[in-house]
Structure 1
């Protein structure tokens, strides 16, 4: 399955290399994907190659992207194959570190009947499944697509979806939500209707900068900010900071002759990051790579250098929170401070 993302060009990314800033800073990459698609392979080996470029990424969270669905189970249980596949890949790559937890897919439109699917995912994960995510980002403009299989309109506010979300809370799991800024009122209603459910908002709450949103950007920024600040008023919400390489956000780094520097990225992203940190605070916000989706726009070491530049005004405790503390508390992860500390301690056994 192909996706509407910038093409990864390793030779282009190699045109800009910079020293790693603050290489001892422990990091938990709170959001990445793995896949093996036609013309695009990013399995554990490719992810580990990016991690080996200097930052102290001690652990990561894999987020569902329809990898490895099984065809020999009922429709509602095919996503269990994704859990099995990622665990198998991690075992074959001889990694006991990445990913440390998984966010899986359960069809929440099943309502209360989603419980059986959630239980099957948890059983397959053997302690590694920490959350659920559906494909929910939707916009009627065909230029605003960030998923190879876009979500239908109104999914987040469907009564059955709200009941399915309640099953996520009952299972003690987190709900990740990827929605555009035009859907943030729906996310607010979802979180309000399920006060016992922790809702993690992916990719800054989907600020839009492509298609019709290239015009009058200040007005669109103000609308996005209002939605984010309203969501932050709910105690059961959290924010992931990242996803700037998504085409819908309107950045065109991939069209330049050379990849962007971390200084360039930090300058471009500062206003959005400030809004998120001011609204949620460091203890309810976390950095994410969104790789390999964003890799067509900038390199992994440059991305984390940009985040480190943006975190410089924060206190030491706040930096700890956004780089790993918030994610570990939110997803219930026991986080080690160095890569060596977790070798053999938090890995996957081979999936059956």
Structure 2
């Protein structure tokens, strides 16, 4: 079973538009492309990755698919279509669906001023299109409200597979627990809902975090989802805001060390391969 990083990004500030990415973002306010990433994957022993959209635009999705054509390590692309415009979304899905590596859809719902964007009727219709063609939806949940919507979506869009990015950003730095713990457990009760053990370092203290800081949250996720519905992701290059790829990989290994070989293999590749239908 290949080792899969199920959540990474690229962006090019010369050719793309990312309004959320401003000079205030510090070290990630620059271009990040495959050539910089490949040596880090090799050092960690990562075989394949899932490249995830960084902007709600066709241009970003087109650029990612072009990169996937050029680089075999990119096994799957999670792109964007206008879910709130179902007719247009259907046309985009038909077009992108011809690409063998187009494997899912995400929308930056956390950047929308309406925290209920994802449950409006037009978006529900758009998500229904994903369910019809068997494509999953990556859920960006940074507010409790976002996480509350996951069981609602599971009920309103039968057959839709979802994955919660970054375990919905638990309050690690504050050493908080509720309402995150109850809401993630409620989401996990829906069998079609998965989660990514990713992006946790940037929810912790950027300078001092270790596996020990993340452990209560990851252990809870393992308890409520099980390894067969969890997948590792680096969230590179956002990860460099709190360390580097090597540290994320090392500390993730420490977090999973007590799992059986089969369970660890699931989190480090097997789950992502099944979920995104990656050929192995």
Residue of structure 1 equivalent to 2:238: 293
Match of 1:136 in 2: 109
Q: 1:189: which partner in 2?
A: 152
Structure of higher RCO (CA pairs closer than 8 Å, 6+ residues apart)? 1
Do residues 161 (structure 1) and 123 (structure 2) align? yes
* 1:116 pairs with one of 91, 99, 113: 91
Task: Look up the match of 1:152.
Answer: 113
5+ residue gaps, structure 1, are: 1-24, 70-78, 138-149, 336-352
Change (3 A) 1:310 1:245: closer
Gaps of 5+ in 2: 15-28
Structure 1 residue 82, shift from structure 2 partner:
2.7
Alpha-carbon offset, residue 185 of structure 1? 1.2
CA shift at 1:41, angstroms?
A: 1.5
Q: Distance in 2 between matches of 1:232 and 1:26?
A: 25
Which of 184, 198, 215 lines up with 1:228 in the alignment? Answer: 184
SS of 2:239's partner is helix
Secondary structure of the residue that 2:138 maps to in structure 1? strand
Q: In 2 relative to 1, CA 152–96 (structure 1 residues): closer, same or farther, beyond 3 Å? A: same
- Select the residue among 44, 49, 59 that pairs with 1:60: 49
Deviation (angstroms), 1:245: 3.6
1:25-73, CA deviations, whole angstroms, 9 ceiling, x for partnerless residues? Answer: 9520001000112741110111113213x22100000001129x5xxxx
Following TM superposition, the consecutive aligned residue runs of length 4 or more in structure 1 with deviations greater than 6 angstroms are none
Corresponding pairs, count: 264
SS of 2:218's equivalent?
helix
CA distance in 2, matches of 1:47, 1:203: 20
CA 1:90–1:325: 2 relative to 1, 3 Å: closer
1:308–1:121: structure 2 CA closer, same or farther, 3 Å change rule?
same
Note if 1:276 corresponds to 2:221. Answer: yes
Tell me the equivalent position of 1:200: 163
Q: Residue 286 of structure 1 aligns to a residue in which SS?
A: strand
Give, in whole Å, the separation in 1 of the partners of 2:205 and 2:13: 23
**In the aligned structure 2, how far is the partner of 1:284 from the partner of 1:102?**
19
Whether contact under 8 Å (1:131, 1:174) holds in the other structure is yes
The aligned counterpart of 1:252 is 205
Distance in 2 (CA, whole Å) between partners of 1:109 and 1:234 is 24
8 Å contact from structure 2 (residues 65, 102) kept in 1: no
The answer as to 2:276 corresponding to 1:331 is yes
SS at match of 1:37: coil
* CA offset digits 1:242-293 (Å, max 9, x no partner): 11243xx3x332xx4xxx5xxx521110011011110000001111101101
Distance 1:120 1:35 in 2: 22
CA 1:161–1:87 in 2, change beyond 3 Å: closer, same or farther? closer
User: TM-score w.r.t. structure 1 length?
Assistant: 0.70
Q: TM-score, normalised by structure 2?
A: 0.88
Residues of 2 paired with 1:121 and 1:208: CA distance?
A: 36
Q: What are the superposed Cα offsets for residues 99-152 of structure 1, whole Å, 9 maximum, x if unpaired? A: 1110000111113542112212223xx211000001112xxxxxxxxxxxx212
